Amino acid sequence: MRRLPRISSSASALAPSVSTSSSSSASLRTATCIAPASQTSQLSATRSQAWQSKLHAQRRCLSTTAPRRALETVSDTTDDSYLLDEDNDRTRKPEIKTDLVYPRGIKAVPRDADITDPDYKPAESGELLEEVGGLANWWDDPSHWGSSNRYLGFGPREKVTDPAMLEVLARRAVIEALAIKQFADLRAHKLATFTPAVAKEQELLITEIRLVPGEDGAAVLKRQSDYTRVWAGVKKAGVVISEESEKTVSESSQLDITEARELVKRWNPRWKQALLKDLAVKFYAAKRIQRLTGHVIPDAKLVGSISVGSLVAHLTKPPKAKKLTEELEVRGQLPALPNVTLYPRRVTPVDKQKMVGRWKLITAELEKRELPVIGTGGYGKSVETKWADGN
């Protein structure tokens, strides 16, 4: 899909054709309104002259193309002064703050009258003329889009698939969600959704914090001081990211898989029984999980996930097999039978010949006769068949 640049109003001078068309419609309205008035009013000669000159300028703007300037043979200057109207004061040149790479230093072909070369002969038809330049595909080049326009995904580029790592990250997400809920304000919402991975020390600190079911079964942190510790880490990461304007999004987790597996073994499985009663905590946890793991939890599953364990179970559940053979391989019952053969793709006639060891012979014989091994080699059906059918 073709991308359209987001240019601020101050950068409207970048698109001369657009600004001209808008001004032309405005001037069209102005011209039609003013014209009869100028005819009927008793204006002085000097004033009517001024009106005439103004009208002339407005009528010039009725054209859908920009007013043609005297073309320079080669303008290799890098400033973009050509983009401004001549009438405008140069001191009013708008300050354009953009990292878009827009066309600069356009070279124009000299006109016939300006060419001094005696051997020059104008072309009589455009058939053999070479087409040079043009800005039609300017925005198709990714390098012309600044770094601020580069797509940054909400989650990591690749989804986390390891069950142990998913379990660690889900637990971390719930702990952070509890802390965010404790110190909830408008900023917390942003932090809950946009804060990326924290430092490894902070991550290890979070993994050591104990998540337990409270008196009513709802998930709580074991100690009250843990909320402050987690919140401090999340807040710190949030400040860092706002300062760096999200240019550097670190990896989802600093831990590796072996560390995650050890952590999962070490934890008391009771933490999974903790209930997610508070909807805000559940929402924050889902957002943090999306940010950390790349897994988007559907609303229907989120409503059904009443405990931390069910949330983890949903995450760690292996994805549904796309092919029947993949599912049969996972089940393992059918491939284990000695009289059953499974093929992952269609068994072609060539495959059948290969199974009985005849394909090499067929290939050799066909090549010896210079006949195509596969396909018809461009030869169609026999003509005689058509005759026999009476067609």
Vertex 303: Cα angle to 216 and 163 (nearest 5): 90
Distance in angstroms (rounded) separating the CA atoms of residues 115 and 82: 23
- Using the contact rule CB under 8 A, the part of the chain among 40-48, 90-98, 343-351, 367-375 near other proteins is 343-351
Q: Contact between 279 and other proteins (CB under 8 A)? A: no
As measured in angstroms, the least distance from the Cβ of 328 to other proteins is: 7
Per-position x/- string for 353-372, each x denoting binding to other proteins as judged by CB under 8 A, each - no binding: --------------------
- Using the contact rule CB under 8 A, the part of the chain among 161-169, 181-189, 284-292, 316-324 near other proteins is 316-324
Contact 152, 289 (CB under 8 A): no
Please, which residue, 146 or 335, has the CB nearer to other proteins? 335
Q: Which of 271, 167, 266, 169 is nearest to 210 (CA)?
A: 271
Task: State the angle between helix axes of 200-208 and 224-243 in degrees (0 to 180), rounded to the nearest 10.
Answer: 160
- Using the contact rule CB under 8 A, the part of the chain among 113-121, 196-204, 207-215, 335-343 near other proteins is 335-343
Please, which residue, 71 or 347, has the CB nearer to other proteins? 347
Of 105-134, which residues contact other proteins (CB under 8 A)?
Answer: none
Q: Cα torsion at 81, 85, 89, 93 (round to 10°)?
A: -50
Q: Which residues contact 16 (CB under 8 A, 6 or more apart)?
A: 66, 83
As measured in angstroms, the least distance from the Cβ of 280 to other proteins is: 42
Please, which residue, 35 or 355, has the CB nearer to other proteins? 355
- DSSP-derived 3-state class of residue 339: coil
Q: Which residue of 341, 354, 362, 373 would you call a contact of other proteins, by CB under 8 A?
A: 341
Q: Contact between 320 and other proteins (CB under 8 A)? A: no
As measured in angstroms, the least distance from the Cβ of 358 to other proteins is: 17
In order of 149, 162, 274, 343, the CA distances from 4 in angstroms are: 11, 39, 48, 48
- Alpha-carbon torsion (191, 197, 202, 203), positive or negative: positive
Q: Contact between 319 and other proteins (CB under 8 A)? A: no
Distance in angstroms (rounded) separating the CA atoms of residues 356 and 44: 107
- Using the contact rule CB under 8 A, the part of the chain among 125-133, 195-203, 338-346, 379-387 near other proteins is 338-346
Q: Which residue of 92, 97, 346, 369 would you call a contact of other proteins, by CB under 8 A?
A: 346
Please, which residue, 26 or 324, has the CB nearer to other proteins? 324
Please, which residue, 322 or 381, has the CB nearer to other proteins? 322
Number of residues that bind other proteins (CB under 8 A): 20
Q: Contact between 186 and other proteins (CB under 8 A)? A: no
Q: Which residues contact 293 (CB under 8 A, 6 or more apart)?
A: 155, 156, 159, 160, 166, 169, 170, 252, 315
Distance in angstroms (rounded) separating the CA atoms of residues 231 and 118: 80
Q: Which residue of 328, 329, 359, 363 would you call a contact of other proteins, by CB under 8 A?
A: 328
Distance in angstroms (rounded) separating the CA atoms of residues 264 and 169: 11
- Using the contact rule CB under 8 A, the part of the chain among 239-247, 327-335, 367-375, 376-384 near other proteins is 327-335
Beta pairing partners, 102? none
Q: Contact between 333 and other proteins (CB under 8 A)? A: yes
Q: Contact between 266 and other proteins (CB under 8 A)? A: no
Contact 256, 160 (CB under 8 A): no
- Using the contact rule CB under 8 A, the part of the chain among 29-37, 89-97, 137-145, 322-330 near other proteins is 322-330
Q: Contact between 350 and other proteins (CB under 8 A)? A: no
Return the amino acid letter for 27: S
Distance in angstroms (rounded) separating the CA atoms of residues 198 and 179: 14
Residues near other proteins (CB under 8 A) are: 322-325, 327-328, 331, 333-334, 337-347
